[in-house]
Amino acid sequence: MNAVTQEAAGGPGVLRLVELPRPVPGRGEVLVRVRAAGVNPADWKSRRLGMFADGSVLGWDVAGVVEEAGAGVTLFRAGDEVYGMPRFPHPAGGYAEYVTAPARHFAPSPPGLTPVEAGALPLAALTAWQALVDTAAVRPGQRVLVHAAAGGVGHLAVQIAKARGAYVIGTASAAKHELLRSLGVDDPVDYRARDVAEAVRDVDVVLDALGGDSPARSLRTLRPGGTLVSLLPPDDAFPAAEAAKAGVRAVFMLVEPDHAGLREISALVGSGRLRVLVDEVFPLAEAARAHERGESGRTTGKLVLAVGP
C-alpha cells in the first residue's frame, strides 16, 4: 500500500510517499480501506518534533470502508462505511491506503456525507464535543466564547454549542463574520479590531485553541463558576492558580478516541445541525503541500487528503 512517512524531524519536505505492507487486523480490530484522511495541526506539530521519524505513518482522521473484521468484532463487517480517529495520540497511520485499529475507535459514517467530508470530521469534531459537552457540560442559555471560530475545531464547536442551546460568541477576522453568523454565532468579534478580553464579559465557557497568553486573558471574560477549556498543553503561563483565585476552572483537555461521541456527532450531521467546511483537498502524494497550507494559518475549516476511491 502507499503511505506517507518521515525519517527525520523538520519541515514539510521530510514527508515521503512510500510503499509498505498492508496491515493485518488483530483481535478486536478492523482493517479499513482509507478513502480520505483529515489533516490537523497535531499532524504538522508531530512532524516538526519528529514523533514519526522512525518511519511510522502520520495521520489520525480516517474515513473509509471496512475491508476485514478481526476476531471478536461484531460491530462492523466488510463493506461498512466508517469514520474515526483511531489510536490518538499514539501512531495510527491515517495517511495510508489501509489502516487497522480497534473497532470501537470507529463509527458508521454520518449520513449524506462524502468520504472527504467524513474524513474531515473525527479529530476536530470529537475535540469540540469532548471539550464543550463532556468537560464543560454546556447547557441551554449559557454564553460560550469560541476562539478561532472559523478554524477546524472552532467552526464545529460553534455549531455544537448552538445545538446545545448556548449563546455563542466567536472570534475571527471581520472578513469571516458572515460565515460565523451562518454557522450560528450570535456575536462575532474581530480580534484584530477589539481586545477580546475587554470586549467580552459574563461568559460561562471559553474554548481556547490559541495558547500563549490567550488562556490567561480569557479568564477575564468568565463569570464566577465558569470554565476555560484549553486545547494546548499547559506551560508556565497556564493560569490554573489565577483561575482558582477568580472562582473559575481552567483545564487542559486532550481528545480521545470515542465511539459514542462519534455517534452523537453523526446524529447532529443527520439532523442538519452540524456541517463540516472543507477548505481544500489534496492527493495523498501531496501531503507535504497540505502541511504547508495548514501551517500558513490561513485556512477556513479543514484540509483533507483524498486517498482512495
Decide whether 2-121+276-306 matches 124-252 in CATH topology.
Answer: no
Question: What residues pair up with 100 in beta bridges, in sequence order?
Answer: 31
**Mean per-residue pLDDT for 188-200?**
92
DSSP assignment string, 67-94: EEE-TT--S--TT-EEEE-TTTTS----
Tell me what the mean pLDDT of segment 111-120 comes to.
97
249-276 per-position pLDDT tens digit: 999 999 999 999 999 999 999 999 999 9
Secondary structure (3-state) at 293: helix
Give the residue-averaged pLDDT of 130-135: 98
Q: Which of 219, 85, 74, 104 is nearest to 152 (CA)?
A: 85
**Which CATH number does 2-121+276-306 carry?**
3.90.180.10
pLDDT digits (tens, 9 = 90+) for 26-60: 999 999 999 999 999 999 999 999 998 888 999 99
Q: Which residues of 246-269 are buried (b: 16+ CB within 10 A; e: fewer)?
A: bebbbebbebebbeebbebbbebb
15-19/29-39 β-pairing: unpaired
Q: Spell out the alpha helix ranges (H) of the chain.
A: 41-49, 115-120, 122-129, 152-163, 177-183, 196-199, 214-218, 240-246, 259-270, 287-295
Distance, in Å, from the CA atom of 167 to the CA atom of 259, rounded to the nearest integer, reads 28
Tell me how far apart the alpha carbons of residues 170 and 155 are, in angstroms, rounded to a whole number: 9
The tens digit of pLDDT for each residue in 144-193 reads 999 999 999 999 999 999 999 999 999 999 999 999 999 999 999 999 99
Contact present, 135 and 229 (Cβ < 8 Å):
yes
pLDDT at 237: 78
Cell of 153: 475545531
Residue 20, Cβ density class (10 Å: 0-12 exposed, 13-18 middle, ≥19 buried): middle
Give the pLDDT confidence of 287-309 residue by residue, as tens digits.
999 999 999 888 899 999 999 88
Architecture of domain 124-252 in this structure: 3-Layer(aba) Sandwich (3.40)
Looking at residue 13, its pLDDT comes to: 94
Q: What is the per-residue pLDDT for 177?
A: 97
Q: Does the structure show a pLDDT above 90 at 21?
A: yes
**pLDDT score for 212:** 86
Cα Rg of the chain, angstroms: 19
Q: Enter the C-alpha cell of residue 121.
A: 470530521
Asked if the model's pLDDT at residue 234 lies above 90, the reply is no
Helices 287-295 and 41-49 cross at an angle (nearest 10°) of: 100
What is the longest distance spanned by two Cα atoms in the chain?
57
CA distance 187 to 185: 6
Tell me how far apart the terminal alpha carbons of the chain are, to the nearest angstrom: 14
**What pLDDT, on the 0 to 100 scale, is given for residue 32?**
98
Mean pLDDT across the chain, nearest whole number? Answer: 95
Alpha-carbon distance values, 49 to 25, 112, 160, 253, 289 (Å): 29, 37, 32, 20, 18
* Structural domain spans, the chain: 2-121+276-306, 124-252
Phi and psi at residue 65, to the nearest 5°: -125, 135
Q: Between 299 and 282, whose confidence is greater?
A: 282
User: What percentage of residues in the chain have a pLDDT greater than 70?
Assistant: 100
Whether residue 17 has pLDDT greater than 90:
yes
DSSP-based helix, strand, coil % in the chain, nearest 5? 30, 30, 40
Q: Is the pLDDT of residue 76 over 90?
A: yes
